[in-house]
Chains A and B, each alone.
Chain A
Amino acid sequence: MGAKVKTMERRGSTFIERIYLVEIFKGMARTLSHLLRNLKDNSKLYVRHYPEVQPEIPAGWRGRHRLTTHDDGTVKCVACFMCQTNCPADCISIEAGERHDDKAEKMPVSFNINLLECIYCGYCVEACPLDAIRMDTGIFSLTDNNRQAFIIGLDELLTTPGAYPEEDQKKGGA
């Protein structure tokens, strides 16, 4: 798959272009046409009326993280630290412990993500061997009053549901 290269024609060498004024007036005519169009009917503005109108988040979009669970609601994560190892922002901190059901030997005792440090690169999702961490909650707006609130733990990660059906996820979800 070769990249499409569009060669742009170099401009600015003719006399008319070199005295600038004509080109400046052409540019100003262009911007004025936009102004007049928008003044006449402001319903055509390219803006979303956020927050009343929420954006549609596609399944591949990397939002806040969550930890997936087995069908019986127990945590899938085995605390292998792959996400923590791969995290370029060093925002994940895990503590591992023994697991006593027969799903696995190991499980996270605590799993903290500092959302202020996170850069939402999705490497944790890529690194996870068990599809235990995903960024498919569709949560893109994180606001709070104090920094501590942005360090989310195991409970919050486990209880947040995914925002997309499993089919979308298979097509290439985050």
Chain B
Amino acid sequence: MADKIKLFVNGEEVEVEAGKNLIDAVGAVGIEIPHLCYHPALGADGNCRMCLVGIEDGRPPLVPACKTRAQEGMKVLLDAKHIKKIQRDVMELELINHPIDCPVCDQAGECKLQDYYMSYDQAESRMTVAPVKKNKKMDFGGGVVHDQERCIICGRCVRFLRQITKTGELGIINRTDVARVNIFPGRPINNRYGINVVDLCPVGAMTSSDFRFKQRVWFLKKALSVCHGCSKGCNLTIDHNKEKNKDDIIYRFRPRLNEQVNGYFICDEGRLSYKLENEDRLTTPKIGTVERDLTDVLASCKNEIEMSTNVTILLSPNASLEQMVAVKALAGKLNASISGFSDGYIITGDGDDYLIQDDKAANRKGLELLGIDTSQQGFEQAIAEADLLINFGNNLGLSYGADALKTLLTDTKTIACATHDSEYLAGAKLTIAVRSYSEYDGCVVNCDNILQKFNKAVTKNNELPTICEIAAEFGGPLTSPAEIFAELQQAAPALKPYQPATIPAEGLNLNDSEAANVTA
């Protein structure tokens, strides 16, 4: 824990962390200092002047809070008349040429300018001249659409592309009321983190072409989740909504702050992976290629399991720890060999040194944690002896070509639990549609050995079973979430002090806790 210092805000004493600037330090204890250009990840720029505060110790009368470090005994003035006037004046300046097209602006509802207008300004415009006309709906590429009229030239987007991605596609051209954010001619935004500028933009100047006009943000329900796009496990907010007479669907993923994992950002692939949760989903269980009731299919599955002599169970590296525990217990009961072979999920060379990883599976570390074999040799050996393969969500089509898969499974029947329709399912004897990760709660362990919890977001009209439920149906000994979690606590001692609801939001670093256990 960082050192604490005491300072005074509007005459009241507050205790804050040392070493931060005023906005962050005071913001952490719930006192808001309005700011537009400052972003914790991008540092202070000091161009918007919205965060000007007074310090009563002989300094200049006004200082930008973003550039001022919190110090012991500081007397910060926020609600004095002249500070309020500064805030109103800055708001008025920002709004001189702002088009106030909130009705058509996607940012409305989560717009800083809108919020600050309601909290700090609320004044009628005094402008009598026509506002400056600028370009609207400019395609910056990379899924970003720019509206120059709404822009307040805070430079967050420019700084993001210079400091974080280091690609620098954007720049601010000219000054005063002809200042514009723009790309260089013929060089659109072209990097794998570009859409983050949409989140960064405090106003509606940057909009995502993907989310554009899909929903108003106040309709969206929010759920905390973890991205399953790669083994990084970036923290997400899932924005979903069930419109009247329609199904609950996800409209966007937004990054959620987790200093341990992803910071403030996520990659574009991860952000757009919400589409996979809405599209091409497997919704009905099948026998062969015929769609049947779940009860019929489960009955046939149990029949197959009874008839078979040697069962192999294959787990998906995307499954949650709970599901892995439940399936592992099932394997023990059926005396089956279990494998987590999923080399096809790894795309070598795709990762970078920031967030994107080679391994596109969310929970491979979880397989290791539970001691489940992931080697190709182990899996092929097991399948050679087995006459029944129960595949819990592992897309074998990624690891094998169609022909190779066919030869591999010549003597083996397949029961496949899957979230999405894919080609490899064509060979399965029985197919069960199961829920995907936006539809259940669970834990995954990311590539840095950090265990993170994610919450159920979507409740479909037609609720599918989870893998845990299927495992219990097949005769697995673990039937309730409480039993599964107790078993999981055995496998991961770091989880012992926690309940599913009390796992910390920033995740549990298993490396730390192992070290702690050893020393203890």
Contact = CB atoms under 8 A, between A and B. Distances in A.
Direct contact of A and B (CB under 8 A): yes
Interface of A: 78-82, 85, 90, 93, 96-98, 104-106, 129-130
A79 B105 CA distance: 10
A85 B216 contact: yes
A106 B212 CA distance: 10
B244 A93 contact: yes
Contact of B103 (A82, A93, A97, A98): A82
Contact of B104 (A78, A85, A90, A93): A78
B103 A85 contact: no
A93 B108 CA distance: 19
Nearest to A132: B103
Given A81-B216, A104-B104, 9 more contacts: A78-B103, A80-B216, A81-B219, A85-B218, A93-B244, A93-B245, A105-B104, A105-B136, A106-B213
A160 B487 CA distance: 66
A79 B213 contact: yes
Interface in B185-239: 212-214, 216, 218-219
B296 interface: no
Contacts of B245: 93
B137 interface: yes
Nearest to B213: A96
Contacts of A104: 101, 104
Interface of B: 101-104, 108, 136-137, 212-214, 216, 218-219, 243-245
A105 B216 CA distance: 15
- Which of B136, B137, B244, B245 neighbours the largest number of chain A CB atoms within 10 Å of its CB? B244
B213 A98 contact: yes
Contacts of B101: 104-105
A106 B104 contact: yes
Nearest to A94: B216
A105 B103 contact: no
Contacts of A97: 213
Given A85-B218, A93-B243, A80 B103 contact: yes
Contacts of B137: 105
Contacts of B136: 105
Contacts of B218: 85
Contacts of A130: 103
A97 B104 CA distance: 10
A90 B137 CA distance: 31
A56 B104 CA distance: 38
Nearest to A117: B244
Nearest to A129: B103
26 contacts: A78-B104, A79-B104, A79-B213, A80-B102, A80-B103, A80-B108, A81-B216, A81-B219, A82-B103, A85-B216, A85-B218, A90-B244, A93-B243, A93-B245, A96-B213, A96-B214, A97-B213, A98-B212, A104-B101, A104-B104, A105-B101, A105-B104, A105-B137, A106-B104, A106-B213, A130-B103
Closest 7 CB pairs of A and B: A80-B103, A106-B104, A96-B213, A81-B216, A78-B104, A105-B104, A129-B103
A67 B301 CA distance: 56
A16 B137 CA distance: 84
A121 B115 CA distance: 28
A96 B211 CA distance: 11
Contacts of B214: 96
Contacts of B213: 79, 96-98, 106
Contacts of A78: 103-104
A80 B243 CA distance: 16
Contacts of A80: 102-104, 108, 216
A9 B241 CA distance: 58
